[in-house]
Amino acid sequence: MIQLPRLHPALPNVFPDPTSALAEPNGLLAFGGDLSVERLVAAYSQGVFPWFNDDEPILWWSPDPRCIFRTDQLHVSRSLRRQLRRDGWTVTFDRAFGAVMRACAAPRADQPGTWIGEDMIRAYNDLHARGFAHSVEVWSEEGLVGGLYGVAIGRLFCGESMFSIRTGGSKAALVGLCDLLQAWEFPLLDAQVTNDHLLRMGAIEIPRASFIRQARHLSALPGRPGSWANASR
């Protein structure tokens, strides 16, 4: 039987050592607690994030290895560059956070369910209101065609989810975000869990211990608090 630590409701800053997370399922660290702004900020600063379904308790994860992007090493294929020039989409930040979260939560053909439930939506909207969660929007003349959202603490950005309504929409959001983060001296973007799509865009895997060291260092640096709505790409 798996014995997981249960987070204390009155201690939002306290998490188990991430290196004590389970190997199977990879990175499962603890359960319980809440999704308060204080607890979420503490979690991301320590290399921990929540991920659970509606019928589960809040589960906290820190997988090994960790999937990240170096913001100056994003791979943009020639075909994607041509598409971005041809389509002329506009990239903005923090202009439609709620809409981006809802689009990320919508069922997909290969994934009819979603882990972005109402509790998560409320929690990350609270983070957004406090200047910690941010969205990237990609617009055509018809409206949103793609986007992503994530959490920024200091100079650490942790990506949470992305979506595409038009082919290439999420890639355009990722390109826009990495351009901005590189200009603002955010050296990495946490992508959490590896998949082939991320690897094709230049993501790499690093040991959890290395990621945690970098997360703690970067989250303590001066960042870009507040809204990013006036950011330019």
Question: Which CATH number fits the domain that encloses residue 60?
Answer: 3.30.70.3550
- Asked which of 64, 90, 107 is the last residue of a domain, the reply is 64
Q: What is the pLDDT of residue 1?
A: 56
Point out the least confidently predicted range of 2-6, 12-16, 67-71, 148-152. Answer: 2-6
Average pLDDT over residues 8-16: 94
Same domain, 79 and 178: yes
Same domain, 146 and 80: yes
Q: Where are the alpha helices (DSSP H) in 4-159?
A: 37-45, 78-87, 97-105, 118-129
Write out the H or E segment, with its range, that includes residue 216: helix 208-219
Asked if pLDDT for residue 216 goes beyond 90, the answer is yes
The CATH number for 175's domain is 3.40.630.70
Asked whether 122 and 8 are in contact (CB, 8 A), the reply is no
**Per the structure, how many domains does the chain have?**
2
Instruction: Please state, in angstroms and as integers, the Cα–Cα distance from residue 173 to each residue in 94, 108, 161, 191, following that order.
Output: 12, 18, 11, 14
Check residue 202 and give left, alpha or beta (phi > 0: left; psi -120 to 50: alpha): left
Average pLDDT over residues 39-68: 96
Average pLDDT over residues 133-158: 97
Cβ count within 10 A of residue 121: 15
Averaged pLDDT of the chain: 94
Burial 82-109 (b: 16+ CB within 10 A, else e): ebbeebebebbbbbbbeebbebbbeeee
Q: What is the pLDDT of residue 110?
A: 60
Q: Which domain holds residue 99?
A: 67-219
Same domain, 51 and 82: no
Task: Give the integer Cα–Cα distance in Å for 152 and 177.
Answer: 12
Same domain, 79 and 182: yes
Cβ count within 10 A of residue 23: 9
Same domain, 108 and 215: yes
Q: What is the pLDDT of residue 107?
A: 78
Same domain, 79 and 109: yes
Instruction: Please state, in angstroms and as integers, the Cα–Cα distance from residue 224 to each residue in 19, 149, 232, following that order.
Output: 29, 15, 13
159 belongs to a structural domain: yes
Length in residues, the chain: 233
Per-residue pLDDT tens digits for 167-213: 999 999 999 999 999 999 999 999 999 999 899 999 999 999 999 99
Per-residue pLDDT tens digits for 96-144: 999 999 999 997 666 555 679 999 999 999 999 999 999 999 999 989 9
